């Protein structure tokens, strides 16, 4: 039986010359967003950040014509149609509110970083503000555009795995915590685990109950509570999801042998899919992988391959889904309103671990909206 290939790539907009203004010039903008945008033929035309010299350096590297002296001037630039935000999460809400004020009637869309905000209440306010101004708000939950994650979603959508039974992510990797992470009310939950929590929502939907446990990471020296995160998501359908977000992974940087990697697995009533995430090998470009077996082809493992990688190629998809939504007059694949449930899920995990109780997403949505 010859099966159609899995859909691991994003849908691209009809128009590639939307005029994009870039707020921020750090790693994620310089090495991911802008690399992906040039690759896709998108059109970043202006940039600004807290440091003008850094913005000018990134502009030169990526051929961006205009460097504004401040983010405020970027937000007021009448030529900008799309705002691409890459600033720390505690600074993002105020920037978006100011962008809506200055861009009303002219700005068509905003691509925000994850987390959209550090609480459902603040995120919901941003969603309402953008909607009232007619500005489409999308969120850069870029793991949804990791190629293996997207291929797994396609398997589930086609029904080839049957009813989902158990989905797991086993992360043994050491993130590079950015300086802005120090002092945030949450470390791993809203910065690292949010990727996996949103992926479970993408695959299975929003869970009905949450159990969680956390402890500090021995390697991270600044004060924090949520370092190594373990959590279980329960669904009334019977499905279960679980992740071990292990940012310690043992003393692999302190002299012991290392064992780094991210593996995922989805078991269904009609099939099984397993995969790996290539991101821990960055800056080496290691594609993520998938292998699946179903009742449709008994005893056979099917292993599609591709050349694309999560960093930076997935960032084509996060901007593309916003531009496609604007062109079609639809909600983005990762719209701000939908993303409220990912923020609420993060709050539910954080509270479940801190308060040693079973939580629900609904309680945090109701409290925040």
Q: Are residues 250 and 210 in the same domain?
A: yes
Q: Are residues 289 and 321 in the same domain?
A: no
Q: Are residues 108 and 250 in the same domain?
A: no
Q: Are residues 137 and 153 in the same domain?
A: no
Largest CA distance in the chain: 62
Instruction: Tell me the average pLDDT across 67-88.
Output: 98
Q: Of 97, 84, 92, nearest to 126 (Cα)? A: 97
Token reading at 143:
């793991």
* Residue 361 located in a structural domain: no
* Residue 254 located in a structural domain: yes
Beta-carbon contacts of residue 172 (< 8 Å; ≥ 6 apart): 244, 246, 249, 259, 260, 261, 262
Q: Are residues 82 and 190 in the same domain?
A: no
Q: Are residues 168 and 106 in the same domain?
A: no
Instruction: Tell me the average pLDDT across 155-166.
Output: 98
- Count of beta carbons in the 10 Å neighbourhood of residue 2: 3
pLDDT at 183: 87
Beta-carbon contacts of residue 290 (< 8 Å; ≥ 6 apart): 6, 148, 151, 152, 273, 274, 275, 303, 304
Q: Are residues 265 and 324 in the same domain?
A: no
Q: Are residues 173 and 124 in the same domain?
A: no
CB 231 within 8 A of CB 210: yes
CB 360 within 8 A of CB 348: yes
Q: Are residues 191 and 287 in the same domain?
A: yes
Q: What is the span of the domain harbouring residue 178?
A: 146-310+343-354
Instruction: Tell me the average pLDDT across 212-229.
Output: 97
CATH number, domain at 85? Answer: 3.40.50.720
pLDDT at 1: 58
Q: Are residues 37 and 134 in the same domain?
A: yes
pLDDT at 247: 97
Q: What is the pLDDT of residues 28-65, one digit of tens each?
A: 999 999 999 999 999 999 999 999 999 999 999 999 99
Q: Are residues 36 and 106 in the same domain?
A: yes
pLDDT at 2: 61
CATH number, domain at 258? Answer: 3.30.360.10
- Residue 257, pLDDT > 80, answer yes
β-pairing verdict for 261-268 and 164-172? antiparallel
- Residue 368, pLDDT > 90, answer no
* Residue 247 located in a structural domain: yes
Beta-carbon contacts of residue 252 (< 8 Å; ≥ 6 apart): 174, 258, 259, 260
Name which residue leads in pLDDT, 230 or 1: 230
* Residue 362 located in a structural domain: no
Percent of the chain with pLDDT over 90: 97
Three-class HEC string of 278-329: CHHHCCCCCCCEEEEEECCCCCCCECCCCCCCCCCCHHHHHHHHHHHHHHHC
* Residue 366 located in a structural domain: no
CA-CA distance, 67 to 82, in Å (whole number)? 16
Owner of token pair 């593309």? 320
What's the total number of domains in the chain? 2
* Residue 8 located in a structural domain: no
DSSP class of 176? -
* Residue 248 located in a structural domain: yes
- Residue 4, pLDDT > 90, answer no
Owner of token pair 């995922």? 264
* Residue 6 located in a structural domain: no
The model's pTM: 0.97
CB 92 within 8 A of CB 117: yes
Mean pLDDT of the chain: 97
Q: Are residues 122 and 156 in the same domain?
A: no
């Amino acid at each position: 039986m010859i099966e159609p290939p899995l859909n691991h790539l994003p849908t691209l907009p009809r128009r590639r010359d939307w005029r994009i203004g870039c707020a921020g010039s750090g790693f994620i903008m310089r090495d991911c967003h802008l690399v992906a945008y040039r690759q896709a033929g998108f059109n970043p035309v202006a940039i600004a950040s807290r440091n003008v010299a850094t913005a000018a350096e990134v502009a030169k590297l990526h051929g961006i014509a205009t460097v504004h002296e401040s983010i405020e001037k970027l937000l007021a630039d009448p030529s900008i149609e799309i705002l691409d935000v890459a600033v720390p999460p505690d600074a993002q809400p105020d920037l978006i509110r100011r962008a809506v004020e200055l861009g009303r009637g002219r700005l068509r869309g905003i691509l925000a970083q994850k987390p959209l905000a550090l609480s459902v209440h603040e995120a919901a306010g941003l969603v309402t503000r953008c909607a009232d101004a007619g500005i489409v708000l999308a969120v850069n939950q870029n793991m949804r555009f990791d190629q293996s994650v997207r291929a797994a979603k396609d398997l589930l959508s086609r029904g080839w795995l049957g009813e989902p039974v158990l989905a797991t992510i086993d992360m043994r990797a050491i993130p590079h915590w950015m300086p802005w992470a120090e002092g945030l009310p949450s470390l791993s939950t809203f910065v690292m685990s949010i990727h996996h929590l949103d992926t479970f929502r993408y695959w299975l939907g929003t869970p009905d109950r949450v159990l969680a446990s956390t402890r500090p990471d021995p390697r991270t020296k600044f004060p924090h509570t949520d370092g190594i995160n373990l959590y279980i998501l329960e669904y009334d359908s019977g499905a279960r999801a679980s992740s071990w977000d292990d940012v310690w992974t043992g003393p692999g940087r302190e002299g012991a042998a290392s064992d780094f990697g991210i593996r995922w697995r989805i078991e269904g009533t009609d099939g099984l899919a397993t995969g790996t995430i290539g991101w821990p090998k960055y800056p080496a470009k290691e594609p993520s992988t998938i292998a699946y077996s179903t009742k449709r082809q008994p005893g056979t493992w099917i292993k599609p391959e591709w050349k694309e990688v999560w960093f930076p190629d997935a960032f084509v998809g996060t901007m593309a889904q916003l531009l496609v939504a604007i062109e079609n007059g639809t909600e983005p694949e990762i719209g701000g309103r939908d993303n409220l449930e990912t923020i609420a899920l993060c709050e539910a995990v954080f509270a479940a671990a801190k308060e040693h109780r079973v939580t629900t997403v609904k309680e945090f949505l109701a409290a925040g909206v």
